[in-house]
Amino acid sequence: MWRDLKQDVERILLTEEQIKERVAQLAARIDEDYHNAEGKLVLLCILKGSVVFMADLMKAMRLPVDIDFMKVSSYGTGTRSSGSVQILLDLHRTDLADCNIIIVEDIIDSGRTLSHLSDYLKLKGVRSVRTCTLLDKPERREVIFTPDYIGFTIPDEFVVGYGLDYNEAYRELPFVGVLRPSVYAKELVEERDEK
C-alpha cells in the first residue's frame, strides 16, 4: 500500500543538498589521506543503515577502493539499545594484512559498535583501521570513542532517512529527518511501563 513517509517526519534536519556537499568533502579528505598509502583501501559498510552513505561516498571518491560488508547487532527493535554487540555477518578476506579499512557507519550513538569493531579488526590483523560516520550523536556516548571522519554532529533526536530506520522503515528517504514522536510514542509508553 502506498503511504507518504514524509508525513511522519517532524522536520528535515539535513537536506539532500547538504548531505551531498558534505559527502563530497569527506570523500576528498579520504582521497587526500590515503593517496600515498601502501596496501589496499577497503570501505567496510556496516549493514544496513550505512548502505546509502557508503554508495554515495565511494562514488564521490577518486581513489580506487574495495568494498566489503559486515552486519552487527547492537539494538533490539525500535528505539531501544541492548548495549551488546554481536557479529551477524563477518569479513571473509584472506588479504587482511594488506587492507587499510575504513569502517563506514551511518550513525554513532553509544559508540559501542564502532569501538568493538575497530578492536575486532585490529585483532584480526588488518593493516590499519579508521572510522567514518555520517552522523555523530556525542551526547549519547557510553564509551570513549572518537571517529576519524564525521559528516555531521547532531543533537540527541530520533532521526530517520538516508539509510536510517525506525523499525526498518524510512531508510529510502533521501534526507535526514526527525521522526514525529507520535510515531514511536506507543513504544516509549511500553518501555516506561517495563521499568
- Per-residue contact track with ligand PRP, 163 to 182, x per CB under 6 A? --x-----------------
Residue 97 beta carbon to ligand PRP: minimum distance, rounded to whole angstroms: 25
Q: Which residues contact 193 (CB under 8 A, 6 or more apart)?
A: none
Select the span of 13-21, 45-53, 58-66, 182-190 touching ligand PRP (CB under 6 A).
45-53
136 binds ligand PRP (CB under 6 A): no
81 binds ligand PRP (CB under 6 A): yes
* 8, 56, 106, 109: the active-site residue: 109
Residue 132 and residue 97: Cα distance in Å, rounded?
20
With CB atoms as reference, the residue minimizing the distance to ligand PRP is 49
| Sites for ligand PRP among residues 2-31 (CB under 6 A) | none
Residue 38 and residue 33: Cα distance in Å, rounded?
12
109 binds ligand PRP (CB under 6 A): yes
Residue 114 beta carbon to ligand PRP: minimum distance, rounded to whole angstroms: 6
148 is a catalytic site residue: no
> Residues 75, 120, 152, 158: which binds ligand PRP (CB under 6 A)?
75
Q: What is the 3-state secondary structure (H, E, C) of the chain?
A: CCCCHHHHEEEEEECHHHHHHHHHHHHHHHHHHHCCCCCEEEEEEEECCCHHHHHHHHHHCCCCCEEEEEEEEEECCCCCEEEEEEEEECCCCCCHHHEEEEEEEEEECCCHHHHHHHHHHHHCCCCEEEEEEEEECHHHCCCCCCCCEEEEECCCCCEEECCECECCECCCCCCEEEECHHHHHHHHHHHHHHC
Please identify, using beta-carbon distances, which residue of 74 and 100 lies nearer to ligand PRP. Answer: 74
> Residues 14, 57, 61, 105: which binds ligand PRP (CB under 6 A)?
105
Please identify, using beta-carbon distances, which residue of 15 and 86 lies nearer to ligand PRP. Answer: 86
Q: Which residues bind ligand PRP (CB under 6 A)?
A: 46-49, 74-75, 81, 105-113, 165
Q: Which residues form the catalytic set?
A: 109
